Every structure is written in C-alpha cells, then in structure tokens.
Structure 1
C-alpha cells in the first residue's frame, strides 16, 4: 500500500472521546428495508434482509438473486462457485459488467483492469444483499450500464452476540459457521468463520471428487468517540478466504449428456482451482445532525491457479467446442476418444494425441481510498439531500499462464515431465479517480434527483514476453443522471429516470477501440399499504456501442483470449415486477407469498461481421445470447409461532447460445438453445426455544435435469436434488 494512502489513514484516525449508543451501519450503501411504508427513492432498489436470506439457507448467489427481478444468470458449476450475473440484459459472463461490492467497497479482484469476478465472497456469512439498477446505481462505478450489487457482512454488535450454524447433506455437503462479538471498554469486536465443502455431484471417469472446500474468516473491530455534537466510529476489518475446488471447463456432448448428465470425462481428472483472498480495511464514520461522512481505506489481494484442459494437440487441431459439438465427424473421432479415456495418447500406427493442460496462474491487487458524504441542506427555499463521493482506486492483474502436456494411458491422465511452457506473461494496471455528486430536491409531492459521475482512468499494459509490446492510455468520461419520484397518495407513487452508462475497456485494448456506452431509461411505480407491496418498472437501454471480450469461460477460442469485440448499436428493454403480501390464515398461521417476474428482450441494431464465438455474423433484430425473455419466481410459505415451511418455484425461459449465424467464421453453436427450466426448492424450520433451531431443505425438489449452458466446452448440468439438515443456535 503506498505511503500517501497510509498517511491519509493516519489523519482519519485522530481520536476524540465519545461513547455512542447507536451502531453506525456503514456496511450498507442505503437502508431500503421499509417493508411497512412506501419507499420514495427514485430508481430500482431491492434489499434482501438477513431473515429473507435465512428462509432457504442458500450458499449460491445465483439462487439468492432469483428473488430479485431484472437479474439474468448463466449457470456453470451448479454450486455458484464462479457466478455469472447480469442485470437488465448485460452479459452475465463472470459478472464483469456489474459493480460488485462488499460493505460498500469494490471487492472484485481487479474491477477496472480485469473485471471478471473469479473471486466472489461466501454468501453464507452475509446479513443483507442490496441490488441497485438504473439511476440508483450511478454512485457505484465503474460499471454503470446495468447496476450494482452490495454484499453486507455482519456488524460489530452493541452487546455480546454469538451463534453457530452447522449442516450436513447429500453429495458430501457440509457447513460449519460460527461468530462471536462483544464490546470491551468501548472497543467492539467480531470474529466469524465459515467452512463449506462438498464432494460434488459429478461422476468422474476413473473416480475422484468433483466438489470443493471453501474457508472464510472475518475479524472486525470498532471504537466510538465524540467531539461535541460530532460522533465518530473508527473501524478495522480483516478477512481471509481460500478455495480448493475440483472444477473444470470441460462439459459433455449432447448425446452423452442425455445418457448421464453428471458424467465427467477422464481428460478432466487433474482439473483444480486453488485461490486465496485477503482484505484489510480501515473505516471512519462521522455523523452530525445534518451531515454524514464515511471514509474507507482498503486493500484486497487475490491469487489463483486454475489447472484445466485447454485443448488437444497443436494450434491447428480442432477446438474442444468443435469436438464435443460433432464428435462423430471422422476428424474428431480420435480426439473425442482421447477425452473420454477410450484411446491412449500413443497408439501404434496412428498419430499421437496429447492433452494440453493450462494453469492460469494470476495475482491481483486492488487498493484505494473512498470517501462518501451526505448532507441535508436548505437552499433557495427548498430542502436538498446532497450526496458526494470521491475515490482513488488502483488495481492490477499479473498473468503467469503456462501449459503442460498430459498423456492419456488406459483411462488415466498423467503429466509429461519437462513439458512446461509459459503461454501468457503480462501485467495490466489501472489508476482511477472517480467522483460523483447527486442532489435530490423536494418539490411538494415530487422528489427530483440530478447527478453526475466521472471516471478518470490511466491504464498500463506490458507483455512480459515481448518488451516492445506495451501500451499506456487515458480515458475520461462523465455520466449525467436524472431521476425522480412523484407521490400520488400515502401508499403509492411513480418513479422515473435516465442516465448514461459506461463499461471500461481493459488496459490491453487499443485506445482507438470505441468504449461501451449507453443511455438508459426507466419508468414505473410503487404501492405499499403495510400489507401489500408492489413495484412495476419498465426499462430501455440504448447502447451506442456494445462490447464483449473473449475469455475462456464464454469464448473458448484460445487465439482470441482477452480480445475485445464491438457489436455496434443494440437495445435491451423489458419489464420488472415484484409483489409480496402476507395473508393471515388464522390467529396462529400466516401465509407469506411473493411473485417476481422479468421480461427482457435484447437485440442488435445493425448488420456486422464479427469473429466472436457468441455473435458471428449478426443482423438487425438478432437476439443477444444467454438472455431469456421470461423469468418467474414464486415463493409461498406457511408460518406459525414455532415452525415455518417455504416453497420456491423458479422458471427461466430458453436462451440462444449464439446471436448470429456463420459466415466465413465457423459459429459452432449456431441455432442451439439452452432449454427452459423450472426448479422447485423447499425448506422448513422448527424453533426449539432457548435450545436453538432445526432446519431442513431440499434444493431442486423434483430433480430437474437440463443443460444450463454449452460454454465454454460442451453441455453442462445444474445441481441435482440435494438434501440437507442443519442446526442453529444464537445468544
């Protein structure tokens, strides 16, 4: 961490004497949990509280976000280890086009230089999830086209609190979660730890685990002081997380999927992801009667090594996607037999075939100073709710990718010694200043918000294999926003907004590549009478230029790795609805239920030839890939004093695997679709009074089996039926 940032931290930490009564909730971006009254903020905002997160005891952020309209997801591993999340039709690939935060701070490994979210916090220890879309997300860049996701960790308690949560289930699943916090002499502290693991649900040729183990540790400290009317809260947050998972990008042919969707080919026997993540954050919260200032100084470090299959043979041999798409072609038969272990690498009288296994070894860091302030000001006879923010952020990715040759012998894949060869050695770095200002003014029943966000970025790229291959570039962009809320009655109102969206390009991309920008509109309304909550929002995102980059998870073409493609003009439009109500069946029983629906349509608005593996040759009106038109989630429960049962039904419509059609470039998955799916989850709990709580759940109750994606290499299944039971105790 550089010396200037540390010096600022020292200045922020000058103490004064104060013993406050209220815990400053600085982990939230905005408190939006007004379940009993009408929310008046402009823009779409959804909060999932700790109580809601506990209803189904999900560890998978994909399943959690099924309760938020406007979210589009591409499943990959069934456990949500590598989330693919988009809002309002942006590509879900590695969640790289949404802003992801933990406790209000950017948490991705390298949000500017390499935004693909290969690290994602363990959701088990979160006490809230906040989702902001439209103008509501203008404060939270750099990605502002779609929205922002904030994960809220447990706060340091005011009094002694502790809890444990243990569970076990099918496929070797287990969870152990515990926390303890208290206050001693005005110093509050919290310690929390989580272990999640499973053996996996896939059946590896030759045997072996296909699961994962994740550990997560959190420590927080705070100290409260005062200086006259000013209240201070100083905080320190330390966290560590690691993961070891036997995951692969290799899927199945459609024919093999139909026979056994949970099979894994012998060629993926050695696949493994090994990661470590650390965070340190100093925070200072200053509060007075009419203003609040939150300062955060943070540093995140992340390293990963992912050993996985890159291909077969040399550069001119067919790709894995081509082999699995058409395994019976004569030119693919030997390669397919090698993948399945039915053929050895060396066969007398035939050309030898070997497996190219690549280890994507990467190190990341991100660090910065972020200051956010709000003030209530009376000016020119009007009340102003003023918000301003300033952030200096630096992040970097260092790639040290290498490939090794593995030989298949009698169904077992083994390393060929001495075959290690470095493939990619480079560094990408970004230094960025971000600033925003938003003024909300009250005009009787109308609250009008005017905002502006600026992103000022200096980027550097260096190829460490070729000293002459480097680039420095500078990007400056300003994004205005206008939003409003008009209160019709005590229980209802209308919201509207328009803002400019932006997604930064990587340091490696040439400076003459057109940036991704859009103009985004939304209009809707809310109703809340304390019993019934309803929100309806329509949106229209008009892209001046739609960009996409090729990564192994979404592209699989080795020669195009890291390359950015332009899709030109495009539009995404749709409609979101969320409804919830609680119906008292009698004095002892309640029936809570909710309904979320999303309609989304994304289309190219021009004719363009691309070599991107998901687009190909597109024409005006072609659909964007991996974007379902219809998504529905229905939740219903039955609750009494000591017990409750919850049922969730989620429907996701079919999605095209590609946008356009083949021309000179071979678009392998042209015409293919991910089929629609309906997943039912059920959970129940029973209170034991002062002895804790028992709970049980079944994910995918009816064991629905569908292809969730054919990216990057072959058909992949979602998680099958999984049973688990658990016990919680809190005091």
Structure 2
C-alpha cells in the first residue's frame, strides 16, 4: 500500500467526496486523464479515526496485479484469507484471529452498503466485487467501526467502485489470460462534468479452477450516475447485476482421496453453484455549508443462490450419532450409497471409488435460497466549535429489513440435477423450508474534539433487531414452528490520537463489538438452535508515522475479549463458544528510495506482518467431548441413545484458522522508462481446524480408519510460504500497460483448508494482459 499508512480516505454520510486527480498520461504531456471523484466512507483526517486502518488505492492494485481480491487482501496486516477456489469467488476473511469462514465476522461493504447475503439474518459472503473494477479498498479495525455495523467485532472492509468522471469522457479497459483457462475482461465508459455524469462498466472472469471440473464463469454490469440539483444538492444513482455459474462444490476430500490426487473432484461434472445478485442504490447529498453535509441513501439488494452437490461429507464421515467412527477416507455418493451393500462406483473405499458412470446415474441435493434486503440511512457530518474547540460530529440512523427463504431438496433421481425438477418435489424429498424475517433499527453518534495536539473521539451505536423464523419443514418432516428473537444493544467506543510530531501519531481506543449469529446450515425438527449474538471488547494501541516522503510505518497492539463467540460445532451447525481472547501485534510499512533521494529510479520494499500469539478459548463447553452410549465420554456409540459428537470447545485450545504469524513481503523496482518489476512472498504459519474436528473418534474401524484419521477434517493445516512475481511495461508512461504476474511461482503443493474436508491450494498460476485508459 503505497504510503497508505496514516492516509485517510474521504469522509462521508455513507459518502463524503475527496477529489482525486488522475495522473498525466506522460511527463510533459499537455492532455491529462479525466478527473474523477473517489468516494469513501472513512474520514480523511487521521485525527478522527483513533484506530488502525488501511487504504489500498487503484495504483496499488495495478502494481500487485492480483488474480482475485484474496491476492490483494493478504498484503494487509491483520487479515487472513482461507482459500477455497481459484477465482476468489467466496471470500473467507478473518481478522486478528477470528474464524474466516464466509467472512461472517467482519463487515463487508461496497460503496458504503453491506454486501453479505443478509447482513443480519445470514451475514455470510458469497459475493465479492470483481477486483478489476475496484478503485480503492478501505479497512478499519479500530473503534471507528461503531459508525458502520451491524458487525463490529473484527473489522470493516469497504470496496469503492469506479467513480463517475467529472471532467469529460473516460474509457478504461483490461484483458487478461492465463494458465488453466483463466480469462478476464473489464471495460468502463463514462463522461461527466461538475454538474453530473454517467458511467457504465462490465466485467467478465472465468477459468478451470483448482480442482478437476471446477470451472467458473462470472459477469457483472454496473451503471452509475450523478447530477447536481442546484448548488447544494446532489443525486447519486447506482444499479448493478452480477451472475455466477460454477461447478465449485463445498465438499472437499477425505484423507486417502487427497493423498491419491489432491486436485480431484469426484462429482465435479455435476456439482454446481449459481448466484444472481441485483443491487440498486440512490443517495441524496445536501451540503448547505463547508462544514455540514447530510447524506441519505436508500438501497435494495436481492440475491438468489443455489448449490447442487452429490456428496455431502468428506471421506465417508458422518456426524449422525450412530454413524460415528465409520470414516473410510473415501467420499460416497450421498443419495446412492448403501453402507451394507454398496453399488459399484458409489464410493466408500479405494476399491469402489466414485465413478463418472455412477455419478451420472445418481441424484443429489439442491439448496436454493433467496435473500432480499432493503433500507434507508441518513447521516450527518458537521463541524462545530463547542467550548471554543475544534469539533467534528457524525450522527445517523438506519432502518433495515430483510427476508430470507431457505429450501433444500434431496433425491436419488438424477433428474434432480434440474433445479426446476427439484422445486417440484414434495414430501420427504423437500427436506427444508424456512423463512427468516428481520427488522432492524440502528442509530449512532460520534464526536471528535481537538485540543492542541490531542483529539479525543467518543461514540455510541444502538442496534435493535427483531428476528422471526418460520420453519415449515425440517429434516424432511412437516412442522410448524415460529421462533421470535429480539436483541437490543448499546455499543460505546472511545479513543484518542496524539500528534507527537509532524507526520507521527500515537493512537489508542476501545470499543464494544457485536455480531448477529449466522444460522445453521440444517434446521432440526425442533426449530433453529438458540444462538446468542457475539459480544466483545476490542482494545488497540498503536503508532503511525510518515516522517518524510517515501517512508511510512504503522504498528498496533491489539486485544479482543469475547464473551459469547460463535463456533462451528459440526458441519453447518453453530453454537456459542463462551469466552475467548485474541492478542497480538500488527506491523506494516513501506520505503521508496525515489522520493527519499529525488531519483527517477525507485527501489521499494513493502511489508505487512501480523503476530497473534494468543488466540484461545477461555471456557470449556459442557458438550466439549464426544460421548458414547449413555453419554459416557470414550464409550462406543452403537446407536443413537445418548450418543453425541463433541463440539471441541476446550479452555486453552487455539481458535480455528488463527495462524500465529502471517507475513507479506515484496520488493520492487520502477524504471523511469515505464518498466516495473516486483518479487515477493506470502507466509502463513500453521492453523488449527474447527474445534469439533479435534475430538472426532480415534478408534480404528473395520476399514483401518477412524473419523479423526481419515475424514480429512482433523489435523493441523501446515505452514506455507508462497512466492509471487510481476512485471509491467507502460511505453512512454502512456495510457497502455502490458503486464504479467505469477502466483505460487514455484508451484508448491499445499493444504489450504480442512473446512468440509481437505482442500488443495492454488497451483502455479501465470497471467498476462493489457490495460488501457483514456
């Protein structure tokens, strides 16, 4: 992040503008590129944000040339991203030791609006904006989070899309291609003036994926407009539609399958994931004076996502009480495997692996789900001089409503591969039918007071959430259960910034964190299991400095104490895990020799290191260990009378997917002729799997396996170091850039995750392309 430490972005009521002038196309060239307005949601004055934060500008993204957002985000301190697919379609982002699964414990936004499937009812991320059209990435990890919500336990990431031009026509385009069929196209066309403008942008990406038959294709179209309604009123409009079609499955591999071929996908030809997302947004910005701005934004988001799979659990493992301990290391066709008399090609052993013929003759399960949310938020940003001191106040309110419809269909009939056929099924084939309605009201106020070199910021967020869950069918049984839940919380935050010298600040703060619980994947016949929201206390103390041009540094100590963390207790089931603690240190910085020496040649070094020595459970659950008949720990489980699988929540054990160290280190060179080169590494230390996987059965069964040994769920995820490199050339520093980038340069084979089984990381990937702007 070029000189990003200590830089702040444009503040906004959902958006306050900061004018960013585009660079000249070439030294001495008379014509400049079109001026655009880049709009963010974080104050540009660092004194107003008493916490750690980062900003990645478009030039940083172009410099790193990432294939997906994951490649860019891992260079930001505090962030751990668990891989799942080659295109980074499903981001799994964890911050400061929090579980990365579906990024459900951080607030992801685009242009100031949450992008989770349902920010309150199902805060999981299956969508992320294509990296090709991102203008800027804003990350907040300190007490400033309370302005955004509802998630404030880990951090906030806001993706800023390409802005509307303000000074004539603008054309941008990019085409890329690479190994394993990777391709990408992006084009933007816009025009505008200070009075208004329009922008249309299209993106397409695809490739063959990491595993066999894991092709993916996405496209997105976005249109934006703005118009000044007089001197003080501005109207901003945005509409976008996104579509994904992929063969990526969430079921990974058992241990023996992975050893045989880590890139296989036994049913990949038929496994599918579909997603359609439409986003509408309108903002009115009223600026009656230099120190006052009121922004009102309405938003409407509808997402349909559906997944089809033929296997559900890796390595023959099953979490049903009377099926414990039967893992064989080989996955089975979920709907067509007979444990007592398995048909040829249906899986379960090395001698009976899943075959394409058996897969083609089998059905599976669909999980179609609809998510619809909308709301309106008004935010006031104003400066005032209470008590004769410089003050800045931000206050706002938001009304938000959402509806979630969850269905699941299962059948051994291969016709179920058609979603229309699946929807026609009734009776026990319709396994789940549940609706979730959420009504939420939130308000916030934050004031910063500056007295000399010290600025003190205090704030308060209010969240009132009413959730109604109606379960019509569960576990293939017709039920009629309605569960109501109301949560009301007050979330205070307090921090301070001390400017100890020019360009150097010491900051510190504390704030209360909150996150709604995400629903379990499967709902039982007694309705959804009660899960309390997460509550935390987050502390920070740090320093950021830009002592001179070309040098930037930030270091932050942090501590997060949870009272009720939410943990995966089995595949798709969630429980409260009690108390946890995360403590650590983030250090990041960059040195550019060009600005330091006044030379046209620039050597640079950039680093981001996160050290999390403490990330542990503070309590032991009553259901921590697996118990056999009669509920006796260590006893065999021959039937479902008293048997249960433990959730593994044991005091002192490490949190899942919380590496002790992550490091991103990159060195580069920029030649005045327009040539740029970089070489870097990304390191991640070992990680622990989900807690429930640590207490799986260890007794060797008739197949010579056990759940712990062969399911693929248990065991550490080893440390890994991956190298990357890039080269670009912009002739005459003009408007056309040729680039090439390589990730996992030395083609290291490594284990990326054990969520849902063993998943291999991305092999060596080389991409080349051309980028143009006019």
1:543 to 2:556 alignment: no
Q: Superposed, which structure 2 residues align to 1:672-711 within 5 Å?
A: 672-689=715-732, 690=734, 692-711=736-755
Which residue matches 2:701? none
2:577 pairs with 550, 564, 567, which one? 567
Residues 336 and 250 of structure 1: is their aligned pair in 2 closer, same or farther, counting only changes over 3 Å? farther
Matches within 5 A, 1:463-542: 463-465=471-473, 466=478, 468-505=480-517, 513-529=531-547, 530-542=549-561
- The 3-state SS of whatever aligns with 2:243 is strand
Task: Say if 1:418 and 1:233 are closer, same or farther in 2 by CA, change over 3 A.
Answer: closer
Distance 1:73 1:202 in 2: 19
Provide the rounded CA distance (Å) in 1 between the counterparts of 2:390 and 2:275.
49
Q: Give the structure 2 partner of residue 80 of structure 1.
A: 88
Cα shift at 1:235? 1.1
Q: Taking structure 1 as reference, are residues 245 and 680 closer, same or farther at Cα in structure 2, changes over 3 Å only?
A: same
**Number of the residue aligned with 2:228:** 224
How far apart, CA to CA, are the structure 1 residues paired with 2:160 and 2:379? 17
The 1-side partners of 2:194 and 2:108 are apart by 35
Q: CA deviation at 1:380?
A: 1.2
Once the 2 structures are TM-superposed, how far is the Cα of residue 679 of structure 1 from its aligned partner? 1.2
* Displacement of 1:356: 6.1
The 5 Å alignment of 1:133-148 reads 133-148=141-156
- Number of matched residues? 675
- SS of corresponding position for 1:380: helix
| 1:412-441 residue CA offsets vs partner (Å, 9 max, x unmatched) | xxx999988111111111111111110101
Determine the structure 1 residue equivalent to 2:273.
273
Distance 2:149 2:182 in 1: 36
Tell me the residue number matched to 1:261: 262
Conserved? CA contact 1:344–1:407, under 8 Å: no
Instruction: Decide whether the 8 Å contact of 1:24 with 1:285 is kept in 2.
Output: no
31 and 617 in structure 1: CA distance in 2 versus 1, 3 angstrom threshold:
closer
Structure 1: 5+ residue runs without aligned partners? Answer: 1-11, 13-21, 204-208, 347-351, 409-414
1:363 counterpart = 2:370: yes
Distance 1:691 1:384 in 2: 43
Distance apart, 1:511 and its partner CA: 9.5
Contact 2:48 2:448 in 1 (8 A): no
Task: Report if the CA contact (8 A) 2:435-2:470 is conserved.
Answer: yes
Match of 1:674, SS state, is coil
Q: How far apart are 1:91 and its partner, in Å?
A: 1.3
Matched, 1:726 2:749: no
Aligned partner (choices 617, 623, 627) of residue 604 of structure 1? 617
Contact 1:565–1:610, Cα closer than 8 Å, also in 2: no
State the match for 1:3 in structure 2: none
Counterparts of 1:342 and 1:160, CA distance in 2: 64
Contact kept? 1:692, 1:729, Cα under 8 Å: yes
The separation in 1 between residues aligned to 2:752 and 2:464, in whole angstroms, is: 38
- Partner Cα separation in structure 2 for residue 659 and residue 645 of structure 1: 42
1:526 positional shift:
1.2
Shift of the 311–46 alpha-carbon distance from structure 1 to 2, 3 Å rule, reads closer
Is residue 128 of structure 2 the alignment partner of residue 109 of structure 1?
A: no
Distance of 2:84 and 2:343 partners within structure 1: 24
Higher strand share: 1
What pairs up with 1:47-446 in 2 under 5 angstroms? Answer: 47-158=55-166, 159-183=168-192, 186-203=195-212, 209-227=213-231, 231-265=232-266, 267-287=267-287, 288-311=289-312, 318=323, 322-324=327-329, 338-339=346-347, 343=352, 357-405=364-412, 421-446=429-454
- Partner Cα separation in structure 2 for residue 108 and residue 523 of structure 1: 30
Query: C-alpha displacement at 1:324, in angstroms?
Result: 2.9
Distance 1:663 1:54 in 2: 45
Give the structure-1-normalised TM-score: 0.85
2:695: which partner in 1?
662
Give me the whole-angstrom Cα distance separating, in 2, the residues matched to 1:723 and 1:513.
Answer: 44
Asked if residue 616 in structure 1 is aligned to residue 612 in structure 2, the reply is: no
Where does residue 648 of structure 1 map in the other structure?
680
Rounded Cα–Cα distance in structure 2 between residues aligned with 1:68 and 1:43: 15
Superposed CA deviations along residues 253-283 of structure 1, whole A, max 9, x for unmatched, are: 3344344322222x33310111111111111
**CA 1:444–1:586 in 2, change beyond 3 Å: closer, same or farther?**
closer
Q: Which runs of 4+ in 1 moved over 4 A?
A: 22-26, 312-321, 330-337, 352-356, 415-420, 506-513, 611-615, 663-671
Q: Distance in 2 between matches of 1:326 and 1:172?
A: 28
- In 1, the alpha carbon distance for the partners of 2:341 and 2:43 equals 58
Instruction: Provide the rounded CA distance (Å) in 1 between the counterparts of 2:209 and 2:443.
Output: 44
Give the Cα–Cα distance (whole angstroms) in 2 for the partners of residues 190 and 148 of structure 1. Answer: 27
SS of corresponding position for 1:94: helix
**What is the aligned-residue RMSD (CA, Å)?**
3.4
For residues 1-30 of structure 1, the C-alpha deviation after alignment (integer angstroms, 9 at most, x for no partner) is: xxxxxxxxxxx9xxxxxxxxx999574112
Q: CA 1:538–1:416 in structure 2 vs 1: closer, same or farther (change >3 Å)? A: closer
Given the superposition, is the C-alpha separation of residues 337 and 155 from structure 1 closer, same or farther in structure 2, using an over 3 Å criterion? same
Give me the whole-angstrom Cα distance separating, in 2, the residues matched to 1:319 and 1:274.
32
Structure 1 pair 78–511 and aligned structure 2 pair: CA distance change class (3 A):
closer
Q: Distance in 2 between matches of 1:338 and 1:191?
A: 49
**Further displaced range: 637-646 or 307-316:** 307-316
The change in CA–CA distance for 1:404 and 1:419 in structure 2 (over 3 A counts) is: farther
1:54 partner SS: helix
Q: Distance in 1 between matches of 2:625 and 2:35?
A: 50
